[in-house]
Amino acid sequence: MVELAGVAKRYAQGAVTALEDVDLQIMPGEIFGVIGESGAGKTTLLDILTASEAPSAGSVTVLGRSLAGLEGKALRDFRRRIGVVFQGVHLLSNRTVLDNVLLPLELGRSGRATAARRRAERDRAHEMLEFVGLAETSERFPAQLSGGQQQRVGIARALAGRPDLILCDEPTSSLDATTSDEVLRVLVDARDRLGTTVVVVTHDLEVVRAICDRVALFERGALRDVIAVRARGLDRSDSYLDRARKELGA
Ligand SMILES: Nc1ncnc2c1ncn2[C@@H]1O[C@H](COP(=O)(O)OP(=O)(O)O)[C@@H](O)[C@H]1O
Ligand SMILES: [Mg+2]
């Protein structure tokens, strides 16, 4: 699904090494975590996987395709096959929730859309909003949704084009534990019900413990370790206050 061999990324005429000699394979159907402290190279790794940045050295294969020299139509076709969930969501505030989910489908059109095509796109966008549990919000605007709901709209948008792979940058970083779980549940559903391979970048170990099959540990641009995780799942029976009592030793 993803294969990196000897990948390095340097910025600022080589003054900054964001990634160094990374070898990594991600298998189809995995929920693969990427963790590391701020500046470890996590976002750079995602930028390389989406072909937004070219590596300074090494080779990258995603969905069976080498990303070297990818441009023009080939690059657009490749991008259509992956979904990206950005850090901090980035929904368009002047578009309804449904129209935000529609956006990648509209951008992915080649030529003029027929009425039937438009209908199919709207049906698909509705279906994805239902998938993330937000069908009833379709005519609202992003500002009328909570942070966790906005993040789920971002995931619906990323899934709209039926990607085989979605890449998520810190999808729960600004959310509380319960809301985080709702977002993570959608990622697990995407893997279980749609067969999507999921890469999730996070600094939150709880995310890894809850949903990841394996996790890569990055430190200052180097891949230090890849660990198989036995995900504990999302069925937290404890309430927030119960967890607080336990963790605080009451
Ligand atoms: N466009 C850029 N130009 C220069 N340096 C960059 C750029 N993007 C990232 N870096 C540097 O590369 C390193 C890794 O950054 P990043 O991939 O954003 O880390 P993380 O997402 O793990 O916090 C950091 O030292 C950062 O300052
Ligand atoms: Mg980052």
Q: Which atom of ligand 1 sits closest to the CA of residue 218? A: 22
Task: Quick: pLDDT tens for 35-77.
Answer: 999 899 999 999 999 999 999 999 999 999 999 988 888 998 8
pLDDT given for residue 237 in this prediction: 66
pLDDT given for residue 113 in this prediction: 81
CA of 38 to the centre of ligand 2 (A): 7
pLDDT given for residue 30 in this prediction: 96
Separation between Cα atoms, residue 193 and residue 191, nearest integer Å: 6
The CA-to-CA distance between both ends of the chain, in Å, stands at 46
CA of 135 to the centre of ligand 2 (A): 30
C-beta separation of 203 from 173 below 8 A: yes
- The string over 100-130, giving b where at least 16 C-beta atoms fall within 10 Å of a residue's C-beta and e elsewhere, is bbbebbeeeeeeeeeeeeeeebbebbbebbe
Separation between Cα atoms, residue 174 and residue 57, nearest integer Å: 34
Helix (H, G, I), strand (E, B) or coil at 9: strand
pLDDT given for residue 203 in this prediction: 86
Angle at 113 between CA 109 and CA 115, to 5 degrees: 140
CA of 124 to the centre of ligand 2 (A): 31
Is residue 26's pLDDT more than 70? yes
Q: Which residue has a Cα nearest atom 7 of ligand 1?
A: 11
Cα-flanking dihedrals φ and ψ of residue 10, to 5°? -120, 140
Pocket test for ligand 1, best of 16, 49, 220, 223 (most atoms within 8 A of CB): 16
pLDDT given for residue 200 in this prediction: 96
pLDDT given for residue 243 in this prediction: 75
CA of 136 to the centre of ligand 2 (A): 32
Mean of the per-residue pLDDT values of the chain: 91
Task: Quick: pLDDT tens for 90-102.
Answer: 899 999 999 999 9
Task: Quick: pLDDT tens for 195-245.
Answer: 999 999 998 888 999 999 999 999 999 999 999 998 788 776 677 788 788
CA of 112 to the centre of ligand 1 (A): 39
Q: Tell me the whole-structure pTM to 2 decimals.
A: 0.90
CA of 217: how far to CAs of 50, 163, 214, in Å? Answer: 20, 25, 10
Neighbours of 231 (CB within 10 A): 15
User: Whose atoms come closest to the Cα of 20: which ligand?
Assistant: 1
Measured from CB, residues less than 6 Å from any atom of ligand 1 are 11-12, 16, 18, 36, 38-44
Q: Which residue has a Cα nearest atom 4 of ligand 1?
A: 11
Is residue 78's pLDDT more than 70? yes
pLDDT given for residue 236 in this prediction: 64
Is residue 111's pLDDT more than 80? no
